Structure 1
Amino acid sequence: MRAVLSASRSAASALGRGQPALGWTMAVLALSLSAWLCALVLMGGMDEGPGTPLHNLPVFLAGWVVMLTAMMLPSELNYIAAFAAVLRSRDRASAARPSVMTSFVAGYGIAWVAYGLGAYLLDLAIRAVSPEMIAWNRAGPSLAGSVLIIAGLFQVSSLKQVCLTGCRTPLSFFARYWREGNFGAVTMGFRHGLVCVGCCWALMAVMFAVGAMSLTWMALLTLFMFAEKVLPKGQKLATPIASFLCVMGIWIAVSPGTAPLLKDPMMFASICRGL
């Protein structure tokens, strides 16, 4: 523990000078940008509004991984920079091995893939048992609006604040949970991923409510998560984000036809009938 605390102090000093993590930061930004370009190619024009089908499981998982890479990695810059700094402070040889960082990111991804699988199974069950719940001419607007309102209320909950604090304090996390080697990196990544899921599950649920292929909402939610996790006073953005989500949720539930940032799924149904 003392060794990790000492390494964390050294890492904090290194982070202040901006030295050890620049390469990884640039790599993460390049990977995230590539994922956004991929999303534009694969998902452009596929947004049919709320209730957009998730397709079969392999296609969903492929798209989900692209979405995670595009949406979540930018908000993980602090953690990746801190991890690189601690590695360098403890063992320069380990810091030079890409496999250690890859293992950490993989562990983080496992937690979010598990969340995606749960969301996929829930969507599958709703469509099989009660499809009228998502039908836009029936209960769909109320369901979508309720998800946004719940997400807004969660933003100002104590659980959100605890998880968000964990996402904003990487050196404290590594000082407490540090594990050596690739397997240790996977373990730490998964543990951090669970905290991140606890922080952002409601924001990601909004994607399923407004249309899983909506690039507009992808960009907006990415901005929210980046701002609250990375910006110096990001925790103070919880209330404005909550207010926005609640207002949008009420708007969608009451007057879905006039709600901004939302495609009308009935339009696509009309086009299909016309064909």
Structure 2
Amino acid sequence: MIASAPDRAGLGPAFAAARSRAWLVAALFALAAVSWWATVDRMAGMDDGPWTQLGTFGWFVGAWVVMMAAMMLPSVAPTVALYSRMTRERAALWPLLFTGGYLVVWGAVGAFAFAVALAGSRLAGDVLAWERAGRWVAGATLVGAAAYELTPLKDVCLGKCRSPLGFLLGSWRDGPAGALQMGARHGAWCVGCCWALMAALFALGLMSIAWMAVVAGLIAAEKILPWRRVATYGTATILLALGVLLLAAPDAIPGLTIPAHHAMPQMDQMQQMGM
């Protein structure tokens, strides 16, 4: 399949802006690289497979924001570059505020996910343990994420992410406060586009660097590749295959950590130290 005319029109100006603002794109990619390094350093040895423990609130939210910077900044770089090109030259810091607003929204998503996980653990106990319902809930989450890829809501949110010029023209706000607001609004559309993929990451192992890279690659493919339908249907197929394998033969999934019957020592130590 080929890209639709709106997709080509939406991505073209963003890529042109990215070329003219190569320094800004390079800075965002450098920040993403540093975030990947920090994530690998902080999460080394903590992958306990599906529904890995999240640690304490402060530790998790901090790690989550760094993780989002690593996973999302490369795919949002063309939008930030186009925004930078559309602002006045004296507003050099506004693109950073735009990026900050974007990450604030994803930070709020992390805080919400932690609250849901905490409430769920208190209400249901260890129901998500692998030997109980954990495996089946993880598999169902992946299948549900695959189904969401084909919904109208996903299509609308992805369209906003793939049409930076249309988004910026339709939500333009002046000044530094406007930059924060626009970044936050773009982050909200991105959440609508990617929340199911993030749920899939929880189901595969949130602390797994390998699965983080896989999900980040799927997000980038959906947002950047010119073959929109190929990307979304391909992502849905991958998620569905992983869900079926997780339900039927989890040992056949390369890189999947089958949860142990005990908590990870590193996470226990963090909780005792209040990190």
Q: Name the structure 1 match of 2:59.
A: 59
Tell me if the contact between 2:158 and 2:193 (Cα under 8 Å) persists in the aligned partners: yes
Q: Name the structure 2 match of 1:153.
A: 147
| Pair 1:24–1:17, CA change in 2 (3 A) | closer
- Taking the aligned partners of 2:262 and 2:254, their CA distance within structure 1 comes to 17
Find runs of 4+ consecutive structure 1 residues off by over 2 angstroms.
12-20, 254-261, 266-272
Residue by residue, what CA displacement relative to the aligned partner does 1:204-254 show, whole Å, maximum 9, x if unpaired?
Answer: 111211221011110000100011101222442111110111111121122
- Taking the aligned partners of 1:169 and 1:120, their CA distance within structure 2 comes to 31
CA RMSD of aligned residues (A): 2.1
Q: Name the structure 2 match of 1:3.
A: none
1:188 aligns with 2:185: no
1:131 to partner: Cα distance: 2.6
Amino acid across the alignment from 1:47: D
- Equivalenced residues, count: 256
Mean Cα deviation higher: 260-269 or 135-144: 260-269
Residue by residue, what CA displacement relative to the aligned partner does 1:112-149 show, whole Å, maximum 9, x if unpaired?
Answer: 11111111111111211113321101111000001111
Q: 2:257 aligns with which of 259, 263, 267?
A: 263
- Taking the aligned partners of 1:153 and 1:174, their CA distance within structure 2 comes to 29
Q: Name the structure 1 match of 2:98.
A: 104
Q: Name the structure 2 match of 1:44.
A: 44
Tell me if the contact between 2:36 and 2:70 (Cα under 8 Å) persists in the aligned partners: yes
- Taking the aligned partners of 1:199 and 1:158, their CA distance within structure 2 comes to 11
**Aligned residue runs from structure 1 range 70-81, under 5 A:** 70-81=70-81
1:49 to partner: Cα distance: 0.9
Q: Name the structure 1 match of 2:115.
A: 121
Residue by residue, what CA displacement relative to the aligned partner does 1:22-45 show, whole Å, maximum 9, x if unpaired?
Answer: 111000010001111111111121
1:189 to partner: Cα distance: 0.6
Tell me if the contact between 1:21 and 1:80 (Cα under 8 Å) persists in the aligned partners: no
Give structure 1 stretches of 5+ with no counterpart. Answer: 1-8
**Aligned residue runs from structure 1 range 1-275, under 5 A:** 16=16, 19-87=19-87, 91-94=88-91, 97-98=92-93, 100-266=94-260
Amino acid across the alignment from 1:39: T
- Taking the aligned partners of 2:89 and 2:210, their CA distance within structure 1 comes to 41
TM value normalised by structure 1: 0.87
Give structure 2 stretches of 5+ with no counterpart. Answer: 1-8, 267-275
- Taking the aligned partners of 1:114 and 1:121, their CA distance within structure 2 comes to 11
- Taking the aligned partners of 2:139 and 2:14, their CA distance within structure 1 comes to 45
Mean Cα deviation higher: 36-45 or 260-269: 260-269
Tell me if the contact between 1:50 and 1:209 (Cα under 8 Å) persists in the aligned partners: yes
Tell me if the contact between 2:101 and 2:180 (Cα under 8 Å) persists in the aligned partners: yes
Amino acid across the alignment from 2:198: M
- Taking the aligned partners of 1:153 and 1:27, their CA distance within structure 2 comes to 35
Tell me if the contact between 2:14 and 2:78 (Cα under 8 Å) persists in the aligned partners: no
1:17 to partner: Cα distance: 7.3
- Taking the aligned partners of 1:17 and 1:46, their CA distance within structure 2 comes to 39
- Taking the aligned partners of 2:102 and 2:264, their CA distance within structure 1 comes to 41
| Pair 1:84–1:124, CA change in 2 (3 A) | same
TM value normalised by structure 2: 0.87
| Pair 1:13–1:65, CA change in 2 (3 A) | closer
Tell me if the contact between 2:65 and 2:110 (Cα under 8 Å) persists in the aligned partners: no
SS state of the match for residue 146, structure 1? helix
